[in-house]
Amino acid sequence: MGEKIIKVMIVDDMAAHRRRLERLISKEDDLQLVSSAQNGYEAVMLAALHQPDIILMDIEMEDAQSGITASKQINKSLPNIKIIILTVHDHSQIIVAAFQTGIVDYLLKSSEDTEILEAIRSAHKNLSPIRPIIAEKIRHEYREMKTREHSLLYILRLISELTYSELEIVKMLCLGLSRSDIAKKRFVEESTIKKQINSILKKCEQKRTKDLIDIVKDLKIFDILNKL
The Cβ of residue 137 has, within 10 Å, a number of other Cβ atoms equal to: 19
Q: List the beta bridge partners of residue 82.
A: 54
Do residue 55 and residue 107 come from a single domain? yes
Closest CA to 73 of 88, 90, 55, 86: 55
Closest CA to 70 of 110, 135, 12, 8: 12
- pTM value? 0.62
Q: Is residue 120 part of a domain?
A: yes
Q: Is residue 192 part of a domain?
A: yes
Do residue 176 and residue 218 come from a single domain? yes
Query: Structurally, how many domains does the chain consist of?
Result: 2
Q: Is residue 1 part of a domain?
A: no
Do residue 195 and residue 122 come from a single domain? no
- Give the pLDDT score at 11: 98
Side-chain half-sphere exposure of 115, counting CA atoms within 13 A: 13
- Give the pLDDT score at 79: 93
The pLDDT tens digits of the residues spanning 22-58 come to 999 999 999 999 999 999 999 999 999 999 999 999 9
Q: Is residue 176 part of a domain?
A: yes
Secondary structure E strands in the chain: 6-11, 31-37, 54-57, 82-87, 105-108
CATH of the domain at 17: 3.40.50.2300
pLDDT in tens, the chain (228 residues): 457 899 999 999 999 999 999 999 999 999 999 999 999 999 999 999 999 999 999 999 999 999 999 999 999 999 999 999 999 988 877 888 888 899 999 999 999 999 999 999 999 999 888 777 777 776 666 666 566 556 666 677 677 788 888 888 988 998 999 999 999 999 999 999 999 999 998 888 888 999 888 888 877 777 766 654
pLDDT averaged over the chain?
87
Q: Is residue 167 part of a domain?
A: yes
Do residue 142 and residue 77 come from a single domain? no
Q: Which residue range forms the structural domain that includes residue 46?
A: 6-129
- Give the pLDDT score at 36: 97
Q: Compute CA 193 distance to the chain's CA centroid, rounded to the nearest angstrom.
A: 44
Mark 152-161 as b/e (b = at least 16 C-beta within 10 Å): eebbeebeee
Do residue 112 and residue 190 come from a single domain? no
For residues 173 and 130, give the distance between their C-alpha atoms in angstroms, rounded to a whole number: 48
Domain boundary among 129, 147, 182: 129
Domain boundary among 106, 129, 152: 129
Do residue 96 and residue 150 come from a single domain? no
